[in-house]
Amino acid sequence: MTIILIIIGLALLIAGAELLVKGASGIALNFRISPLVVGLTVVAFGTSTPELVVGIESSLAGKEGITFGTVVGSNIFNILFILGISALILPLSVSKKLLRLDVPFMIILSVVLLLLSLNGVLSRVEGIVLSVGLIIYTTILIWESRRKIEPEPVEADEIPAKKKGWLLNSSMAAGGLGLLLAGSNWFLDGAVEIARLAGLSEVIIGLTIVAAGTSMPEVVTSIMAALRGEREIAVGNVVGSNIFNILGVLGISAMFAYGGLDISQSMIRFDIPVMIAVALACLPIFFTGGIISRGEGILFLGYYTAYSLYLILAATHHDALPGFSSVMIWFVIPITVLTLAVTAWQHFKSGK
């Protein structure tokens, strides 16, 4: 039954993603909003709904660790796995706007989250500030996009068709989102059950299985968007989801939690810094020609595999942990940082 649950969930995810991407693309045309902004807002916020539901439920149940683990784990998963697998299928284009505003904003938010976490709690007041920040960010995105796109003249006889098209696209997006949420819940339930049968702890399940499971809508949506040629939606979905996770999921969850959200020291010392490092890694990769290549996609996937393996080794106190950590810290990470730095320097030096 667990395997059947996963298969049905995956089928719903694929169908829902197809509808959501089609509907979102149509909404962009109807409202004179760029596909990138739709990816950063409508698609990103919609596909991040599972994280929001898990965050609120965990906060009300007094399990703040799951809330933070889901958000941080999802943000790491979104960049390393989703962008990695999407670029592996089809190299992704990155717009200049994303580089100028949204990626730096994602990095700044990640650093701000670390600073807010240093006292071990995210208070209700800080949650309100984050939630207000989400409203301001979304308003600016939509206003700027509509300002830059010239309105097209509409004849009187075209108005009914425009309204019909808007209703159809909105219905497709809403229906797709509904299928995504149902599919992600079934897929997540099946995956968690398998993880428990395998003997994994709740901490590992939260940072890996739950984080990946709640990100399944983003996974399938980004892949389907890339396959349909909507590359801006594919990348915007990931960056927008990460921004929404910090501002919306943590902000709203902190308002629901009695006394705010408690944050573990392991999260402050390791997982949030990893999230910041992953966000920073986007800049040199995104800057190099505005394309996330298949090679860079493989690099992202390799790092997500290494991160997940580290979590499992650390949780089980495996004998291989010291050797694995030494190889990553003294060999793999320095070489990667040096390669990215040289690549970025060559790109800027060429004047592109």
The whole-number pLDDT of residue 92 equals 78
The CATH number of 2-149+158-349, from 1.10.1740.10, 1.20.1420.30, 2.160.10.10, 1.10.10.60, is: 1.20.1420.30
Residue 122 DSSP SS3? strand
Mean pLDDT of 17-31: 71
159 φ, ψ to 5°? Answer: -65, -45
Q: For residues 290 and 166, is the Cβ–Cβ distance under 8 A? A: no
The whole-number pLDDT of residue 48 equals 75
Separation CA 5–CA 323 (nearest Å):
38
Q: What is the pLDDT confidence band of residue 128, given thresholds at 50, 70 and 90?
A: very high
Helices (H), ranges, 149-292: 159-197, 202-204, 211-214, 216-227, 231-244, 251-256, 265-266, 272-287
Which tokens in the block code for residue 146?
């509509």
Question: In the predicted model, is pLDDT for residue 341 greater than 60?
Answer: yes
Instruction: Provide the residue ranges of all domains of the chain, joining segments of one domain with +.
Output: 2-149+158-349
Q: What is the pLDDT confidence band of residue 200, given thresholds at 50, 70 and 90?
A: low
If we measure between CA atoms, which residue out of 269, 256, 257, 281 comes closest to residue 117?
269
Higher per-residue pLDDT: 146 or 249:
249
- C-beta atoms surrounding 95 within 10 Å: 18
pTM, full prediction = 0.78
The whole-number pLDDT of residue 68 equals 82
Left, alpha or beta for 351 (phi > 0: left; psi -120 to 50: alpha)? Answer: left
Which tokens in the block code for residue 280?
């920073």
- C-beta atoms surrounding 320 within 10 Å: 10
Question: In the predicted model, is pLDDT for residue 175 greater than 80?
Answer: yes
- Residues 62-104: tens digit of each pLDDT: 766 667 877 888 899 888 898 888 888 888 777 777 777 888 8
Q: What is the pLDDT confidence band of residue 138, given thresholds at 50, 70 and 90?
A: confident
The whole-number pLDDT of residue 333 equals 72
Higher per-residue pLDDT: 176 or 279:
279
The rounded percent of the chain whose pLDDT value lies above 90 is: 10
Separation CA 282–CA 340 (nearest Å):
10
The whole-number pLDDT of residue 232 equals 72
The whole-number pLDDT of residue 1 equals 73
Q: What 8-state DSSP symbol labels residue 156?
A: G
The rounded percent of the chain whose pLDDT value lies above 70 is: 76
User: Hey, which of 72-76, 143-147, 293-297, 326-330 has the most confident mean pLDDT?
Assistant: 72-76
The whole-number pLDDT of residue 111 equals 94
Mean pLDDT of 224-251: 83
C-alpha neighbours within 13 Å on the C-beta side of residue 69 = 23
